[in-house]
Amino acid sequence: MESELDWHTARALLEWQVDLGVTETISDSPINRYEAAAEMVAAAATAATVALAGPQPMAGADPVAAATMAAAGAADLDALRQAMEHYGHCDLQKGARNLVFSDGHPVARIMLIGEAPGREEDLKGRPFVGKAGQLLDRMLDAIGLARDREDDRAVYITNVVPWRPPQNRDPSQAEIDMMLPFLARHVALVKPDVLVLMGNISCQACLGKRGITRLRGQWTEAFGLPTLPMVHPAYLLRQPIAKREAWADLLNLQAKLKG
């Protein structure tokens, strides 16, 4: 029976081989270096494909539960934006150019919640920058409010869904549900005095109701805050006759802020 090699003897033998000029060891079985290199190339290609594809959902994960956990972990608006960018459960991400997070001053008294980005918003990465957004700016200016102000007349703007739906369709209920935890966290971080819900989708998400022509102009509550539903500016572009009611709602909002 061969005696076991003790540590000192093994070290002496290793040093002796190093002195002889040995630079590497050979395994008991041959290694196909070409095959190993091919595997490394394939692994790198797979990693690159995954990176280009963007965030991927975990198999079997509940989208709403995943959104709730991700939103709860966001300590500030930058962290919330990153959490939304890495959220992999909403298919709208795949067809959108940009995540449309927000615009305006983050300490504004008024937080305006729209529905979803359109083409212009998707291209520029900002909410309400198309024709409807330009009308909204004029509406706000009429009562002394603006998204570019930094005082008590500032407005902060976001959407229920941050990615443009294909062909500007309405977001589905599933899409609204999975983005609602992010919206709730968004409101909690901004801490506005009042909310303004622009359009049916905003009311559906925040109030669980539709029928904006019935809901508009009546103060209610969402996320524990005084909330005023208003018709979407895009609706006013199609139905100019409704501008009189929209003006009444703006005066209602102005009175609430003064009060």
pLDDT, one tens digit per residue, over 213-257 is 999 999 999 999 999 999 999 999 999 999 999 999 999 999 999
Number of residues written out for the chain: 259
What CATH number does residue 99 fall under? 3.40.470.10
> Is residue 24 included in any domain, yes or no?
no
Give the whole-angstrom CA distance, residue 164 versus residue 252: 31
pLDDT at res. 112:
98
207 lies in a domain? yes
Six token digits for residue 70: 């991700």
Number of domains in the chain: 1
Q: Indicate whether 7 belongs to any domain.
A: no
Q: What is the pLDDT of residue 13?
A: 75
Q: Give every CB contact of residue 73 below 8 A, 6+ residues apart in sequence.
A: 79, 83
| Rounded alpha-carbon distances, angstroms, from residue 199 to 36, 78, 150 | 58, 27, 26
Q: Residue 165 domain-assigned?
A: yes
Residues 6 or more apart in contact with residue 131 via CB below 8 angstroms: 234, 237
pLDDT at 25: 66
What pLDDT shows up at residue 241?
96
Q: 204: domain range?
A: 63-258
DSSP string, 160-212: SSSSPPGGGPPPPHHHHHHHHHHHHHHHHHH--SEEEEESHHHHHHHHS---H
- Report the alpha-carbon distance of residue 206 to residue 215 in Å, rounded: 12
Cβ within 8 Å of residue 180, ≥6 positions away:
64, 67, 160, 205
**Is there a domain that residue 58 lies in?**
no
Amino acid at 74: A
Question: What does the alpha-carbon distance between residue 70 and residue 68 come to, in Å, rounded to a whole number?
Answer: 6
**Count of CB atoms within 10 A of residue 215's CB?**
19
pLDDT at position 41 is 57
Nearest Cα neighbor of 180 from 147, 202, 198, 157 is: 202
Counting Cα atoms < 13 Å in the Cβ hemisphere of 35 gives 3
The pTM of this model reads 0.77
Lookup result for tokens 């150019």: 97
Alpha-carbon distance of 97 to 99, in angstroms, equals 7
196 lies in some domain: yes
Residue 209: burial class (beta carbons within 10 Å; 0-12, 13-18, 19+): middle
**What residue type is assigned to position 250 of the chain?**
L
User: For 43, how many CA atoms within 13 A lie in the half-sphere containing its CB?
Assistant: 6
Residue 8 lies in a domain: no
pLDDT tens across the length of the chain (259 residues): 445 667 677 777 777 777 776 666 666 666 666 666 566 656 555 555 444 555 555 555 799 999 999 999 999 999 999 999 999 999 999 999 999 999 999 999 999 999 999 999 999 999 999 999 999 999 999 999 999 999 999 999 999 999 999 999 999 999 999 999 999 999 999 999 999 999 999 999 999 999 999 999 999 999 999 999 999 999 999 999 999 999 999 999 999 999 8
